[in-house]
Structure 1
Amino acid sequence: MDTRNSINENLVNKGHHIYRISEKRRRLIAFITGCFRKFIPAKSREGGTRSEAEEKVYSWIYTLAQAHKDLVFEYVRSTERGLSFKEAERRLKEGGRNIPLNHTFPSWWQLWWNAFLHPFNIILVVMAILSYLASDNANGSIMLVLVLISVGLRFHQEYNSSRAAMHLSELLKSPVRVQRCAGRVIQTELVVQIDQRDIVPGDIVYFSPGDLFPGDVRLLTAKELVVSQSSLTGESGTVEKIANIREDRRTPLLELKSICFMGTSVVSGCGTGLVISTGSNTYMSTIFATLGKEKPPDAFEKGVICASYALICIMVVVVPVIVLSDYYKTHNLSESIIFGISVAVALTPQMLPLIVNTNLAKGAIAMARGRCIVKSLSAIQNMGAMDILCIDKTGTLTMDRVIVIHHLDSWGFPNEKVLKFAFLNSYFKTELKGPIDDAILAYVYTNGYRFQSSKWRKIDEVPFDFVRRRMSVIVETDLNSTLDDTYPGIEAASCVISKGALEEVLNICTSIEQIDTGVTAALTPEDRSRVLRISEELSNDGLRVLGVATRKMRTKNISMSNHTTIESNMVFLGLISFFDPPKDSAKQALWQLAERGVKAKVLTGDSLSLAIKVCKEVGIRTTHVITGPDLEVLDHDEFHETIKRVTVLARLTPVQKLRVVQSLQKVGNHVVGFLGDGINDSLALDAADVGISVDSAASVAKNLADIILLEKDLNVLVSGVERGRLTYGNTMKYIKMSLVANISSVISLLIATLFLQFEPLTPKQLLTQNFLYNIGQIAIPWDRMEEGYVKTPQRWSSKELPIFMLWNGPVCSIFDIATFLFLRFYYGAYRLSASNFFHTAWFVEGLLMQALIIHMVRTEKIPFIQDMASWPVIFSTITVTAVGIIIPFTPVGKVMGLTYLPLSYFGFLVVLFLGYFTLGQVVKRAYILTNRQWL
């Protein structure tokens, strides 16, 4: 006995140990951790294994499901009288309130800080501080304004459209009836109502239709108990629960008959149960355990960080060399430092945060017009990179509405009588009508059948239960009419009509109606086999099949106390089949996604045959399919290999959906989108690169989603994918333009500083040139992308950026050096006395070269000939070019130390840029042939 108590003690401690920290400390830790995660990728567990916490929950539930009722009370330290009020209060104080997770919304300053923590924002702030220290207040102010605009754009969008935390208040406020005892001495049990959040393990709860289970519950009594687990499985079906049953360890967790899970609800029946787990120890908590945690940086975010570090490294190496070289010539340290800061500023793509956030905000607005709300701006980039979309069948591919497909007699031929009696059964059903009843009624009404229900009167009914798996109604006709279409020549009498699971209906039938004469005959084994064969064929097509039977009764013979007598010696009429049909738009949308390089995988909790049927209807291949139980027995390598191949995965649990998504991400190296709308989808939604839900989804799913569709239509995603690729493409244009221009400037400045007797440009000239170039790029978010670009997934490759920079940057430097040589040998502009002329010539050449870089980089085709930029881009570059040419002739130019340029120099620039245009295009083609891509 001592040994058993020791085991029980261990089990209880494992199941209910809770580590608690103060709210302020928790929020501080979460915030600090979040800051570090901006720069350090987070680790996640291996997709094919459960966490230690999950194993504890699973083991605890299975242990209590297999245990005898008396032992269950020992495990949770309770009695058949319930807990005393004092003991319940102690457990509540010790274990905390019954809340699966207690996430809070991020405060406004946390959102602002997260928006600020962009690598280039930090670089700009550092450069602004250095500018102020060097008394360059104007340039420092410009950089701070750019930071404020960028941070403001991101903060505004995410503050208004997104909240990172979950809130489960919809599940946590209902009252619960609990049995408590006054104490050990006073033998009095009381049934009281308490807040669901005050439930503790060991409480005995009462439940009836409409109630939510306040925790994981081991049933003590159950009377015809039917439970909806749709909040966990996402499927609309119900399950029967039984109290007195010893479970098999091999039974899937959600199929345990004696366990009811937190968040599920009672459809019909009633009973009592012992609460075995609450709060963070429930099965629901295993779904929520990883939610709300910071996602690791995606490929785009990692790429931006890498680009930031690369530019920092270049600045650290180049700027000191330039400063020392300039000081060697001028012997003025302060001026050399200011020049070095100016070079560092020129090397920094100041507009990147603004361009990125403008791109994303513009994309979010465009997607909102397309009935698609973007909560997380980074999701737009990921939409463009997405190459696999995992979707739940229910309501996404299908109409989420059952319809009648067939009403057949026992030989498989259409029969109106079968439909009529199924209609009467559903019409006179007084308990809550389900989807099947609604489908039958809708089918009759919309197809013009006139079954004259007013001529029938209901006498009584035998409700549905999961033991009989059928329901029956007893009706009678007007006294002056006959049941001529069922029982020819027999006077009006009572009639019992049964509808339910086919085998159960066949079990109560002794007769069958002949197809040719309509008269009844004995039901033979051959008849039964034929009917079951028809049913199997329909089931293999993904249809749900019910049987319909009837028999006449004399009213005086009716005794409602004996269900078995009423439902006996029935005449089998036929079968009626149902289907949740696919949406008309689903097939076209999936085809369009496939055309754009996005493959679809179906992850559903439904049966495999039904999933296959729907997938065939919408054009998804069903060559490789698997079920959740089959996945569970695979080892690590087999699991990942299977996930690569299969396109349809049925009967999945929430954790299995998560593992599928993680396997595709880690092993398959895919960018994964997940479309789901139930609590059961929350794990996968949170883990996916793009979490997508719908406006009608569960609150948890909507809070976790990055994108919310205002209608369940995959066509909305097609436009979202294209918008994501457009946004990504325009962002990449700016990054690559900046890198090419910057590496060109670095090479040119180094060479010029080493060989000239003066600075190649003064700090003011360098900063003005850089400012004008940034203005020329500000219209990039409004540029167009080539049609072929948006047809394929676009994913950041950090290895490709340095290669792109080293291929294309030196090309520009060649023509900068050609300009130096031309100024040296044609104009003699190499002495200190000619510095103003040199400054002016290179200022204009550098600005025009950078404007031309915009058009060379933005397309893989020949600019101006094969592909034109959008009008905003053309206007901005023309404007900046004109300003750059005009400035030397204005008073502003004189203040900057610029002078007039001869007309012959502009003739040289025309030849120079034609040369750059030609050589640049040759290098571009060679780069594309070598690297198979441009942007």
Structure 2
Amino acid sequence: MRTFKIPTIFTSKSHPRLPYQNPIRQNLVDKPESQNGSNRVFRFLRGLMSGGKIDGGSRTEAEEKLYSWLYALAQSDKDLVFEYVRSTERGLSFTEAERRLKENGPNVPVDFSFPSWWHFLWSAFFHPFNIILIVLSVISYITSDSPNGCIMLVLVLISVCLRFYQEYGSSKAAMELSEFVRCPVKVQRCAGRVVQTELVVQIDQRDIVPGDIIIFEPGDLFPGDVRLLSSKHLVVSQASLTGESWTTEKTADIRENQSTPLLDLRNICFMGTNVVSGSGSGLVVSTGSKTYMSTMFSNIGKKKPPNEFEDGVRRISYVLVAVMLVVVTIIVITDYSTSLDLSESILFGVSVASALTPQMLPLVVNTSLAKGALAMARDRCIIKSLSAIRNMGSMDILCIDKTGTLTMNRAIMVNYLDSWGLDKEKVLQFAFLNSYFKTDQKYPLDDAILAHVYTNGFRFQPSKWKKLDEIPFDFIRRRVSIIMEREEDTDPHSFVRVMVTKGALEEVMKVCSCMENVDSGTISPLSPEQYQRIINMTEEISNEGLRVIGVATKKLGKIRYERKDNDDTSESDMVFLGLITFFDPPKDSAKQALWRLAEKGVKAKVLTGDSLSLSIRVCKEVGIRTTHVVTGPELELLDQDAFHETVKTATVLARLTPTQKLRVVQSLQTIGNHIVGFLGDGVNDSLALDAAHVGISVDSGASVAKDFADIILLEKDLNVLIAGVEHGRLTFGNTMKYIKMSVIANLGSVLSILIATLVLKYEPLTARQLLTQNFLYSVGQIAIPWDKMEDDYVKVPQRWSKKGLPTFILWNGPVCTLFDVTTLLFLWFYYKADNLEDLVFFHTAWFIEGLLMQTLIIHLIRTEKIPFIQEFASWPVLCSTVLVSAIGIAITFTPIGKVMGFIRLPVSYFGFLVVLFIGYFVVGQVVKRLYILVYKTWL
């Protein structure tokens, strides 16, 4: 522990507000240079920021300033970095760190919080039909019709509670899965008033501030954008930002240039990335909303596509309200003109309005969605948004990340090739020995080599070898060497000492002067021609999506081996043996799952940050067409029209940035008019997850990805999504059954009441009878979510059609009214029920006919086939139909029926009803076939 005098940065009154913020703070770069510190620093920064865009691409002004800031630090000496961030090599004091934390706020890239319970309750309550029912119930209470008002409020309560329970419960489950940035970070702080002492303390990542010096080791996450101060064999994974599965070497002892891509800067580490191996220290230069990660979230929530279904339901509600106002007004005026009882006329008008309202729509929709959510929960899915289930049924394009979704996200060894591209076991033997004796750092590639040897029965007998030394991997050499020895077979007192080197091909070949011939095993010089041939062969292998490392050996003779520190001559004059190739294999289930999705009309597009060649290799193995492929840099060169056309046809889009993934999703939604799902688990996927109609993540994904997803998979398997698509289409289909059936039945019934009122000059039903009929009919519809769908329906994506419902009503609505009018004429002419003396008889007959009509219509609407002959409904729907019909008929024979004003009907009337409904189903089926013939669809 060292001690220092207090630096002026913490004691001088000339710096009441330290300008440590990055250039996103515009006032920092607009101040005179004399006030902002060193003239050198600010001339340098302004020179960078006055130039055009850095690293190419289309970015906002704020993003340009952030990029300029990071490039400035990457090109600066460490002393300039400390000066600009207003920190010291000893770190910040606790007081200064606390002040900066108050000024900047918690260190989180995006301030996202789960909605509170009242938000879910309000969302469940605020449905157009809920509001209509509440208004009607209030009017019912005003007109002293308490039972009607109570029934409507109960329906609203059940619907709201059901939706609230499901969505709030799913949100709580998602919150439990979320492990949002709360990990300890080692920070170097200085303490003391007269003599400062360096302290290394652990603080929460949310409390990190610009100017902090952090110390990191394998497994640590970088808590902000960091300029490296020191590093030792540092290897970092940037998969959370780029989606690429391979690691990146970082070093502090370098000054970058402006031509290097931002994420390839070797002395800058980014928030959200993690240390794979090595250690070091770094200066935090940006935190929270001023980090590179935060630029991904600038468009979060701003361009969410509209929900077609909710928009369609809202339009229906407006139309029904308009019809309701017109029809109810006419009925009230007509009824009042004959009865001269305004209160009774208003009560009857409210009852008609209630009959016109699809009262069960919120309940049926929420029950269908909740049923789908429970079914998907059994398939290990957490549904955060119920509407996502319905969108799954409409989804026709699924964008997926490659790594971990199509692939296993781990390396396996494929080939061991000599310098001529032929299998040679000796290459594998020495690569195995290198990995076996390596102790400094173990990489996934080492595990892949060891696993390949052990699982394929190779016997290389490492016990015969003894390790003498190791030259560990570092970011400059990019290779590791093992020195070992074994006894000679002919002389047990003599030893063979060998150095085995493996690593990046170019770096291994740099230290090779010879190569081993394929046929004879003799050694020949590694000529420039042979060098180029090997490089060309390696490029061909890489183009097939394989990763390559080189293997070389060197005999050290029988003298005692001693390696001096900083001795660069040990790795020289080596013999190049060959190559080891690796591959991130596709999952066994991926090909079958993609084929099943394609069968259901869902096209897959791969959006990945990995290389194009690797993406093509994986896609070929899982059956995705690769005739149309494109990369992110190529997309940046296209104009808007060409961009949309390319995105439309491409099936594989590689080397994409997070913003490009967002643009691709939005292009498919707006220009292609597709319902788009996106499956991703990294920070780099968050923009696209938020913008997609259906955002899907996994429980092992990044916290922020799970926050913005609608569905969280508890296992990363595409087969789970197939079940989700099926549940979504079943939910959508049953919901459309109810909407079309209820709107047709309700409109037909109300128009029939209007016609009967105008013709008869009295109410065809009393308010209480009409409400009872409507209540029984509504209760019977609760079984619809448990109905089945035809196989042909769930094979293709289903979407809401703005013109489809009005057209459907115009074709099928008159059929109901036609047979209601037929009943009216039959009662008028056959039973002579055309005067007030026959009022009770007419009420009873009209009540039963209307109830049976509305109850049986579901069987005509629910299928394209002939009901009760070619297709039967599910048993809950059949039981519901029988039960409601029996109750409706039985009421007229009970004392309750007498209280409600019913009488017993003659048997001849029930015979008429049988003929009537046979005729209804015949005519309805003819209209259905004509409709399907014209529009090629039914539901």
State the AA in 1 paired with 2:512: C
**Structure-2 separation of matches of 1:854 and 1:207:** 66
Q: Helix, strand or coil: the match of 1:556?
A: coil
Shift of 1:181: 7.7
Deviates more, 1:607-616 or 1:97-106: 97-106
Letter of the structure 2 residue corresponding to residue 241 of structure 1: K
Label 1:156 to 1:145 Cα distance change in 2 as closer, same or farther (>3 A).
same
Query: 2: distance between equivalents of 1:109 and 1:343?
Result: 34
SS at match of 2:358: coil
- C-alpha displacement at 1:724, in angstroms? 0.8
Letter in 1 for 2:587: K
For residues 239-258 of structure 1, what are the alpha-carbon distances to aligned partners after superposition, in whole Å with 9 as ceiling and x for unaligned? 12233545444543322223
1:744 equivalenced with 2:748 (yes/no): yes
- Tell me the residue number matched to 1:99: 108
The reply on whether 1:929 has 2:933 as its aligned counterpart is yes
Shift of 1:903: 2.2
- Residue of 335, 338, 344 corresponding to 2:353: 344
Q: What SS does the aligned partner of 1:910 have? A: helix
What is the match of residue 763 of structure 2?
759
What is the TM-score when the length of structure 1 is the normalising length?
Answer: 0.91
Q: What residue identity is the alignment partner of 2:476?
A: V
Please list every run of 5 or more consecutive structure 2 residues that lacks an aligned counterpart in the other structure: 1-14, 29-56
- Of residues 461, 470, 479 in structure 2, which corresponds to 1:452? 461
Contact 1:747/1:810, CA 8 A, preserved across alignment: no
> What residue is the counterpart of 1:666 in the other structure?
670
Residues 120-143 of structure 1: CA deviation (Å, up to 9, x unaligned): 222222222222222221122222
Please give the secondary structure, in 2, of the residue aligned with 1:798: coil
Residue 524 of structure 1 deviates from its aligned partner by 2.7
Whether 1:173 aligns to 2:170 is no
Give the secondary-structure state (helix, strand or coil) at the position aligned to 1:496: strand
Q: RMSD in angstroms over aligned alpha carbons?
A: 2.6
1:775 paired to 2:779: yes
Structure 1: gaps of 5 or more residues? 19-47, 484-488
Task: Give the aligned residue type for 1:878.
Answer: V
Name the counterpart of 2:607. 603
Counterpart of 1:529 (choices 520, 529, 532) is 532
| Aligned twin of 2:33 | none
| Alignment pair present for 1:885 and 2:885 | no
Whether contact under 8 Å (1:131, 1:139) holds in the other structure is: yes
| Alignment partner, residue 634 of structure 2 | 630
Aligned to 2:568: 564
Seen in structure 2, the aligned counterparts of structure 1 residues 501 and 792 have a Cα distance that, compared at 3 Å, is same
Query: SS of the residue aligned with 1:171?
Result: coil
SS of aligned partner of 2:832: coil
Match of 1:694 in 2: 698
Match of 1:719 among 717, 720, 723: 723
Say if 1:106 and 1:165, in contact at 8 Å, map to a contact too. no
Distance 2:246 2:386 in 1: 36
How far has the Cα of 1:814 moved from its partner? 1.1
C-alpha change, 1:629 and 1:191, in structure 2 (3 Å) is farther
**Aligned residue in 2 for 1:45:** none
Q: Secondary structure at the match of 1:601?
A: strand
Q: 1:325 aligns with which of 329, 334, 345?
A: 334
C-alpha deviation, 1:465, in angstroms: 1.7
Structure 1 counterpart of 2:360, one-letter code: M
Whole-Å Cα distance in 2 between the matches of residues 659 and 453 of structure 1? 53
How far 1:204 moved relative to its partner? 3.6
Q: Deviations over 1:702-736 (max 9, x none)?
A: 33322222322212211221111011100110011
Which of 266, 275, 284 aligns to 1:266? It is 275
Aligned residue pair count: 892
Query: Contact 2:94–2:189 at 8 Å: present in 1 too?
Result: no
Higher mean displacement: 86-95 or 892-901: 86-95
Q: 1:816: how far off? A: 1.0
- Counterparts of 1:12 and 1:519 in 2: how far apart (Å)? 60
Question: Does 2:624 align with 1:620?
Answer: yes
Moved more, 521-530 or 417-426: 521-530
Cα pair 1:399 1:583 within 8 Å, conserved: yes
Which residue is 2:739 aligned to?
735
Amino acid at match of 2:802: S
Measured after TM superposition, the shift of residue 426 of structure 1 is: 0.6
Change (3 A) 1:60 1:396: same
Q: Is structure 2 residue 852 aligned with structure 1 residue 848? A: yes
Separation of aligned partners in 2, 1:68 and 1:518: 51
TM-score using structure 2 length: 0.90
Q: Does 1:193 align with 2:201?
A: yes
Deviation of 1:793 (Å) = 0.3
1:235 aligns with 2:239: no
Displacement of 1:672: 0.9
Instruction: Tell me the distance in 1 between the aligned counterparts of 2:58 and 2:892.
Output: 69
Say whether the 8 Å CA contact 1:586–1:618 is kept in structure 2.
yes
Of 294, 298, 309, which aligns to 1:300?
309
Shift in CA distance, 303/10, structure 1 to aligned 2, threshold 3 Å: farther
Q: 1:641 to 1:58 in 2, by over 3 A?
A: farther
**Higher mean C-alpha displacement, 883-892 vs 290-299:** 290-299
**1:133 corresponds to which residue?**
142
Number of the residue aligned with 1:819: 823
Going from structure 1 to structure 2, the CA distance change for 1:451 and 1:525 (only over 3 Å counts) comes to: same
- Residue 23 of structure 1 is matched in structure 2 by none
Q: CA deviation at 1:636?
A: 2.9
Following TM superposition, by how much is the alpha carbon of 1:751 offset from its aligned partner in structure 2, in angstroms?
A: 1.2
Cα deviation, 1:96-117, whole Å, max 9, x if unaligned, reads 2322234333332332222222
Supply the distance in 2 between the matched residues of 1:761 and 1:634 (Cα, whole angstroms): 67
Tell me, yes or no, if the aligned pair for 2:22 and 2:285 is still in contact at 8 Å: no
Change (3 A) 1:259 1:856: same
- Provide the residue aligned with 2:294 in structure 1: 285
Answer with 533-542 or 445-454: which moved more: 533-542
Letter in 1 for 2:849: E
Counterpart Cα distance in 2 of 1:161 and 1:295: 21
CA pair 329-13 structure 1, distance change in 2 beyond 3 A: farther
3-state DSSP of counterpart to 2:870? coil
State the match for 2:512 in structure 1: 509
Cα offset, 1:912, TM superposition:
2.0
In 2, the alpha carbon distance for the partners of 1:506 and 1:934 equals 68
Residue identity in the other structure for 1:934: W
Deviates most, 678-687 or 836-845: 678-687
Q: Say yes or no: does 1:548 pair with 2:551.
A: yes
Which residue does 2:37 correspond to in 1?
A: none
Give yes or no for contact 2:178–2:707 (8 Å, CA) kept in 1.
Answer: no
Q: Which residue matches 2:163?
A: 154
Counterpart for residue 5 of structure 2 = none
Q: Distance in 1 between matches of 2:242 and 2:485?
A: 41
Q: Return closer, same or farther for 1:793/1:490 CA change in 2, 3 Å cut-off.
A: farther
Rate the CA distance shift 1:430–1:582 in 2: closer, same or farther, 3 A: same
Measure the CA separation in 1 of the matches of 2:469 and 2:92: 42
Equivalence for 1:585: 589
Residue 112 of structure 1 pairs with residue 121 of structure 2: yes
Tell me, yes or no, if structure 1 residue 801 matches structure 2 residue 810.
Answer: no
Letter of the structure 2 residue corresponding to residue 767 of structure 1: L
Distance change in 2, residues 1:167/1:922 (3 Å): closer
1:743-785 deviation line (CA, Å, top 9, x unaligned):
1022212211212121011011111111111122221111111
CA distance in 2, matches of 1:144, 1:469: 72
1:515 deviates by: 2.0
Task: Check conservation: 1:99, 1:172, Cα contact below 8 A.
Answer: no
Moved more, 907-916 or 74-83: 74-83
- The answer (yes or no) to whether the contact 1:603–1:657 under 8 Å persists in 2 is yes
1:869-928 residue CA offsets vs partner (Å, 9 max, x unmatched): 112111211222222222222212111111122222222222222222222122212222
Say if 2:660 is the partner of 1:656. Answer: yes
1:14 aligned onto 2:17: no
User: 1:390: how far off?
Assistant: 0.7
1:917 is aligned, of 915, 918, 921, to 921
Q: Please report how far the alpha carbon of residue 543 of structure 1 lies from its aligned counterpart in structure 2 after TM superposition.
A: 0.7
What is the alpha-carbon distance in structure 2 between the residues aligned to residue 544 and residue 885 of structure 1? 76
Q: Which amino acid letter does the alignment assign opposite residue 129 of structure 2?
A: F
Aligned to 1:417: 426
- 1 CA distance for matches of 2:287 and 2:861? 59
For 1:144 and 1:809, the matched residues in 2 are separated by: 28
Local SS of the residue matching 1:465 = coil
Match of 2:874 in 1: 870
Task: Work out whether 1:257 is the aligned partner of 2:260.
Answer: no
C-alpha separation in 1, matches of 2:27 and 2:310: 38
Q: Does the 8 Å CA contact 1:166/1:704 hold for their aligned counterparts?
A: no
Match for 1:468: what amino acid? R
Q: Which amino acid aligns with 1:425?
A: N
